[in-house]
Each structure stands twice: as C-alpha cells, then as structure tokens.
Amino acid sequence: MINIYEVTETNRMIEQENLDVRTITLGISLLDCIDPDLNALCGRIRKKIVQTAKNLVKVGKEIEEEYGIPIVNKRISVTPISLVGGSACRKPEDFLKIAETLDESAKEVGVNFLGGYSALVSKGMTKADENLIRSIPQALSQTERLCSSVNLGSTKTGINMDAVRLMGKIIKETAKCTKDSDSYGCAKLVVFCNAPDDNPFMAGAFHGVTEGDSVINVGVSGPGVVKHALEACRDSDFEELCETIKKTAFKITRVGQLVAQEASKRLNVPFGIVDLSLAPTPAVGDSVADILKEIGLEQAGAPGTTAALALLNDQVKKGGVMASSYVGGLSGAFIPVSEDQGMIEAAQCGALTIEKLEAMTCVCSVGLDMIAVPGDTSAETISGIIADEMAIGAVNQKTTAVRLIPAYGKKAGDSVEYGGLMGHAPIMKVSGFSCERFVKRAGRIPAPIHSFKN
C-alpha cells in the first residue's frame, strides 16, 4: 500500500532533480468500431475516444495538484489502425480520413498525442497494412497530435525486408512532406522490432489486440534523480554504485505506481503497467548521458559507454520491478539524441556516432532514437540502418526501434530545432557506402534459431 509519506519523500526530487511522470496514457480498443462504411467507422471512432477519454486530462491535473507530482503529458493509444480500417479503406487516401478523425478527437479531449496509426507487418503485409503505410507521410503532415509506428520484425517471425525497404521510402517522403518544420513528421514516426503492446511512450504507443477495452499505462522519468544520487558515490565500487541506482529506481517507480492507481480509480479504467524507463529531456540536469558521465566516462560515446549503459539499464529494471507488480512497456534507459542535452553535446564534439549509438542499443531500452541525418541520405541507406537495428532486436529477443530524421535540405554539421520535449539535434554523418543491393532483395530474413522454444 502506498502512503502519502512516500510521496512527500520525493518532493526534493521533483523540485530540484527534474522528477516527473512523463505520461499517463489511456489505451482504447477500437475493435468494436469496425464498420465497412468509412464515414460510419470514423463516427464510431470519434464517439468511442471522446466518451472514454473525456476526463483524462482533468483527472491528470487533479492528481498533479493533489500530490504535487508533475504529469508532463496526457496521451491516448488506440488499436493499430490498419486492423480497424481494413474493411473500410480501399486506398491510402481512405486512411487519411481516419487520421483526421483521430487528430480531431485528440484535440477535443485535450491530450498531447495520440498513438496507434500503426501496422504490424513483421511477417507479411495485408493490402490494408500497405495502404496505411503509404498514407503515413500525408497523415503526419496534415495532423498535429497523431503518431505512427510500424512493427517490422520479431524474434518469432524474423524481419520483413519488403516492409523495411518500403519504410525507408516512407521516412524519406515524410521528411519531404514536413520540410517546412525541419522534417518534424519523422519525429512522430518510429519502426520497431518486437514492439510491446503496452508501451505508453510516443511515437510508438498503440493499444495491443490482447489488451482489454481500455487500460491506464504510466511512464515515469527521472534521469536527474539518478544522477544526483550517484554524485554521492563517485569513489565507490560497483556494488555500491548498483545498489544506489536500484534504490533510486525503486523510489521513482513508486511515484508512477501511485499515479497509475489514482488515475485508474478516478477514471474507472483498469490499471495496466508502469513503464519505468529513464526518459530524458533537453533540460539541463535531466540527461541519461550525464548519468553515464557520473558513472565515470568523460563523455557519452567513450570506451566503456556500452558497459556503463548496460549496468544502468539492468539496475533500473531490478529496482523498478520491486516497486510495482506490473512493470511493462519498454522499461529501461532511453538514448534519444535530440531529447538529451548530454547526448547532443556528445554528438557535437564527435564522441558519439551513429555506429556507437547502434552498439549501445544492444543493451538499452529501445534503439536509434531521434537521430537527425543529412537530407540527401538515400532511402536504401535508411532501410539498411533499420535492418541493422531490427536484427539486434530479433537476435537478442528485445525491443529495438528506429526514429531517424533525414532533415530535408540539411547536411552534416547543421542542426534541427523542434522545441519542447523533442529538443534539437545536430545532423549526424552517415556512412557513404551503399547497401542498395542488399535491401532490394525480396522477402524475409528468417527468425533466429533460438526463437524455437516449443
């Protein structure tokens, strides 16, 4: 049972160390909205979202005021739209009507983002999947709060290279469609291997088909809290270092557990999971890279970075699972370049490269996240980068993701500016060697041998 004393104990973390609940995400099933008539489908979607989420923002603000815990975002995730719209949408343009409906619904209930403009194509693509994917560039350029994700592979099925090749083109088209905002549409588009059904974080949140009608998932954040705790053990051994991270992660997760339970009770919606990921922001003192420096690195990207990140990720999980019976989502450490001031500095000074970031993704929560690359990067190169990250996820039985921004008209050394949680990022150099012949092979990379567990 959580008591008010535990919350009071976190006041210093909130006021001085950037502790916050990053998001309350309300997952909503739209399976009961399916209709072969597109207009009827859109009407049912809007009605379901508005009725289910009408009090989400109000309840979030009430919890903030009552407990003094900042809740940065209130969000919605829905059933992957390729499944919901399959019977009504015959061409990509049909899906755009659903995209507009989702965006309007998000504005009506006042949430920051709505995720689930998604397709799950790890083994193959239906015509509905392909139509939705081809609609993504226009959908993200014509909406404000809509986020999109595509699952391209899994440990059980392997990697759908036809979809990987297509997504390279889609990311390029999205960058062009949103060129007037530094290709911002790509910041709301992510591709996955082993995508979780209960991820509360954008842009990858969707409401999985195994979930109930609605559910509350909460994402916490506290890189600044962990860094501050580690300042007291700079000369300690690894055992004390690990214990400090675990105890801090426990306290952070308890805050998320409290918010999740309160939101669940007040909205009369089942509690799903707490995602205990360390999600940084561009604010000074709220950086995963700064934690790595506190552990002992001169700069993120130095030799030892992957080991330090593995240690951090593991201890965060170990501490978090003791604080909540239901830990899920991604749960670990995020390394988004544009959203982490320390990562930005490391990239600017040359300590951090895309190749080093890829190595780090083998041991962290997600993957290559919020990385801006030159606008003339080819679709095939983007597909090759995606394929590499999907392989890491499939072989290591973990979630990996790619959120690349080929910033239109920008070159290495330039920067993009998004503001808010999205931050800003230097344009990072990409290998000039071609992988075109590889990514143009048709079909699927088979599942790894250790996927056979029956």
- Chain segment 149-165, per-residue pLDDT in tens: 999 999 999 999 999 99
CATH number of the structural domain 24-193 = 3.20.70.20
Report the relative pairing of strands 444-445 and 71-78 from DSSP bridges.
Answer: unpaired
Average pLDDT, the chain: 90
pLDDT at 7: 53
The predicted model gives 319-347 an average pLDDT of 84
- Chain segment 98-113, per-residue pLDDT in tens: 999 999 999 999 999 9
pTM score of the predicted model? 0.93
Which residue type does 450 have?
H
pLDDT at 253: 86
pLDDT at 6: 55
pLDDT band for 308, please (50, 70, 90 cuts): very high
Vertex 448: Cα angle to 445 and 449 (nearest 5): 135
pLDDT at 3: 55
pLDDT at 251: 85
pLDDT at 53: 96
pLDDT at 109: 96
pLDDT at 220: 83
**Is pLDDT of 180 > 70?**
yes
pLDDT band for 311, please (50, 70, 90 cuts): very high
pLDDT band for 334, please (50, 70, 90 cuts): confident
- Chain segment 230-276, per-residue pLDDT in tens: 888 888 999 999 999 999 888 888 888 888 899 999 999 999 988 88
- Chain segment 391-411, per-residue pLDDT in tens: 999 999 999 999 999 999 999
